Structure 1
Amino acid sequence: MQVGIDQIGFYAPNQYLDLTALAQARNEDPNKYLIGIGQSEQVVIPVTQDVVTMAASAASQIITDDNRDKIAMVIFGTESGIDHSKSAAMYVKRLLQLPDQIRAIEVKQACYGATFGVQTAKDFVRANPDKQVLVIGADIARYGLNTPGEVTQGGGAVAMTIAADPQILALDDATSFRSEDVMDFWRPLYRTEALVDGRYSENIYVDFFKAVFHDYCAQTGRTIADFTALTYHLPFTKMGLKGLRAVLPEASEQQQAILKANFEASRAYNRRVGNLYTGSLYLSLISLLANAELTAGDRIGLFSYGSGAEGEFYSGTLVQDTPQLNLRNWFDAYFKQRRECSVAAYEQQFQQQLPAHDVLLDTRADDARFVLTGIRHDQRQYVDRQA
């Protein structure tokens, strides 16, 4: 029995910041961002959106009357949780009208959480092949205005159903993982912006990738020649390119050309959305499926990394030929309808945070299906405009 990713959906707000404009406002050479970081745009998150609303919007694209009653678990990976106690998955469960006979939990390990969800879901479905698991990776990346990490901000949500006989990617049993207690990135409870040791984090990322990739190959007897594409966690797309370059010498010249071309396909959407933290790897997978010429049976490697640090490498085989026209068409429409946000408007929205008291928010500028309307009696108020 094959188990893997059956459906996949994405959501991010419809405002974006052009990083050329940001570079000019910060008196930087735009190529520092466009080439040196590998980013061209980033999503701007209004105060009326949080990880719950974005997750619900992404998941609503793949949860229908056909599979709603099959969902037995919601696993929500995030490092942007909204409550110290209550899982963000519980809010999503209600907004999507999922059955009560369900587990709904939130997991955290920096950007790795959604991958833990995928692996846990895979094991669950193997034991319960008539059930499915909804796995979500949703985050808002914040480093602060006029900081070195500002160019690697962004946000959004990816939602996946893990099921038997999947339609997209059949996952292998083999996986390699590694963890070390390192301080390359962290956000204390008292801070709304993350702290990062950028150069150290890049080095740890590459070291972790090489370690888990080579361990995976040792376990399976596979080599880089067995992969049509390698996808990466992409806090910024140049980071994944550094990981790819670390193993390219192991490939033939022809294989190097294939891997480089497919990497470009896999980072096309991340360049324009920015950093999703837990969802970044899976947006890269979507970008690959939508933009590369792939064939059923092609093996795709996935490298997940969460600072602090946890890394995992696993793979799957493509179930259907691509291009995935539905994914490509969705993103074409999404990018076409987005609105550019000026640097001044971006800065204003960045500084607009929920207060620590009851408040009613103006949602008229937010056209999303799910919105945060405010706080009442210390409880976040969510609305489904289609309910």
Structure 2
Amino acid sequence: VDALHNCIDFVRLNPTQKAIVIASDIAKYDLESTGEYTQGAGAVALLVSADPRIISFENHWAVSTKGVFDFFKPYRTLAKKDILNIAANEPWFGNLESHIEIHKDQPVFDGQYSNTVYTDRTREAYHTFKKLTGTTGSLYSTWESIVMHLPYAFQGRRMFAELFSLDAETPLLTGNEEDYQLRLREISKGDDYKAFVNQKLQPAEAASSLIGNLYTGSIFMGLLSALVVNADKGTDLTGKKIGFLAYGSGSKSKVFEGTLQAGWKEAAHNSRLFENLVQSTEIDFDTYSKLHKKEQDYSVKASLNEWILDTIETELPNLIGARYYKWVE
């Protein structure tokens, strides 16, 4: 989202130019961890121009950020003597240091704490955006659809119940009730909130439930999903607003909104999003486990019309680790 923000600023200053935002990521968790079922990978690209045909963005952006120890990927260290089982600090694969740093793709996290900071940041950014735009009444009522960062498909609907309650046209809660959490749970299970979810949140969840977590690409895949689902329903969204609640662990939320343009429905149909997802290749658990543990080093699908990693330099001293790619027809 920050890249999108930067590109929009660039195009605003250079209206004859265009910019491309590419969000590509992989969400990998330890086997048998609580985050394993949310894993996902993918990429989404957006073309930004001064004359958009899908969605336009106003120059209103609200941010809430706080440095917390949540969901990060620290370097782990191992003493070389424990690896080699000797006291002396002998060279080991070119490493002269007494401790070896190890990087893992899998993050350190606490699921409940992650939910808490996610809710805190999105709530703060939401209210800041409401104040920034001078919105009176319910902000979310002005949005035809809502796209949230989705580390798993139903994260948004579970977290948005609080904003649904606090920012209703007639607020359902003030936040000061002694039984606040109990009443919030009751509201989240009520028919009114379920209807709200089905109308405004579910369209953006559809693709996430099939793909998993895309980290940086989540909010953009949510947008594409919402557009395709609404296009298939025949919903007329031209001129309507979509609200975005982006989030990144650490923790930071950015809230903004966009207005759909006349070409959104054609672009949604042309994406063939769900038709492409149906063509995914199913693998068995043994293959999944081997891929996860990097015991299998070849793809389950033959490469076609894409860039692939060809080789990694292991011999030339000045190029150790250099990665070489090639295009496969």
TM-score range, shorter chain: 0.7 to 0.9
The letter for the 1-side match of 2:246 is S
Shift of 1:257: 3.6
Shift of 1:243: 2.7
C-alpha distance in structure 2 between counterparts of 1:287 and 1:187, whole Å: 29
1:367 counterpart residue number: 303
1:67-100 deviation line (CA, Å, top 9, x unaligned):
xxxxxxxxxxxxxxxxxxxxxxxxxxxxxxxxxx
Of residues 269-278 and 137-146 in structure 1, the stretch that sits farther from structure 2 once superposed is: 137-146
- TM-score, length-normalised on structure 1? 0.64
Q: Indicate conservation of the 8 Å contact 1:175/1:314, yes or no.
A: yes
Q: How does 1:1-387 map to 2 (within 5 A)?
A: 115-189=1-75, 190-222=103-135, 223-249=139-165, 250-251=167-168, 257=195, 260-292=198-230, 293-320=235-262, 323-324=265-266, 326-327=268-269, 330-352=272-294, 362=298, 365-368=301-304, 369-377=306-314, 378-386=321-329
Change (3 A) 1:153 1:256: closer
The letter for the 2-side match of 1:237 is A
The letter for the 2-side match of 1:382 is Y
Q: Indicate conservation of the 8 Å contact 2:53/2:263, yes or no.
A: no
C-alpha distance in structure 1 between counterparts of 2:50 and 2:58, whole Å: 12
Q: 1:174 is paired with a residue of what secondary structure?
A: coil
Shift of 1:365: 3.1
Q: 2:34 is paired with a residue of what secondary structure?
A: coil
Change (3 A) 1:243 1:120: same
Change (3 A) 1:251 1:282: same
Change (3 A) 1:220 1:379: same
Change (3 A) 1:322 1:118: closer
- TM-score, length-normalised on structure 2? 0.75
Q: Indicate conservation of the 8 Å contact 2:207/2:274, yes or no.
A: no
C-alpha distance in structure 1 between counterparts of 2:110 and 2:266, whole Å: 37
Q: Indicate conservation of the 8 Å contact 1:134/1:160, yes or no.
A: yes
Count of aligned pairs between the two proteins = 266
Shift of 1:307: 0.6
Shift of 1:255: 9.7
Question: Unaligned stretches of 5+ in structure 1?
Answer: 1-114, 355-360
1:308-337 deviation line (CA, Å, top 9, x unaligned):
111100001001265456547622331232
Q: Indicate conservation of the 8 Å contact 1:290/1:322, yes or no.
A: no
Q: Percent identity?
A: 27
Shift of 1:246: 1.7
1:13-39 deviation line (CA, Å, top 9, x unaligned):
xxxxxxxxxxxxxxxxxxxxxxxxxxx
Larger Rg: 2
C-alpha distance in structure 1 between counterparts of 2:295 and 2:26, whole Å: 13
C-alpha distance in structure 1 between counterparts of 2:36 and 2:300, whole Å: 27
The letter for the 2-side match of 1:202 is N
Change (3 A) 1:303 1:342: same
Change (3 A) 1:123 1:299: same
The letter for the 2-side match of 1:132 is K
C-alpha distance in structure 2 between counterparts of 1:256 and 1:248, whole Å: 11
Q: Indicate conservation of the 8 Å contact 2:64/2:122, yes or no.
A: no
Q: Indicate conservation of the 8 Å contact 2:154/2:205, yes or no.
A: no
Q: Indicate conservation of the 8 Å contact 1:294/1:322, yes or no.
A: no
1:98-133 deviation line (CA, Å, top 9, x unaligned):
xxxxxxxxxxxxxxxxx1101111111110011111
C-alpha distance in structure 1 between counterparts of 2:23 and 2:278, whole Å: 24
Q: 1:384 is paired with a residue of what secondary structure?
A: strand
C-alpha distance in structure 2 between counterparts of 1:376 and 1:118, whole Å: 34
Shift of 1:192: 2.7
C-alpha distance in structure 2 between counterparts of 1:259 and 1:364, whole Å: 37
Q: Indicate conservation of the 8 Å contact 2:157/2:197, yes or no.
A: no
C-alpha distance in structure 2 between counterparts of 1:127 and 1:352, whole Å: 46
Shift of 1:244: 2.2
Q: 2:58 is paired with a residue of what secondary structure?
A: strand
Q: 1:134 is paired with a residue of what secondary structure?
A: strand
1:241-275 deviation line (CA, Å, top 9, x unaligned):
12321222334698984553231111000000001
Q: Indicate conservation of the 8 Å contact 2:54/2:263, yes or no.
A: no
Shift of 1:230: 1.3
1:43 counterpart residue number: none
Shift of 1:305: 0.6
Q: Indicate conservation of the 8 Å contact 2:54/2:264, yes or no.
A: no
2:187 counterpart residue number: none
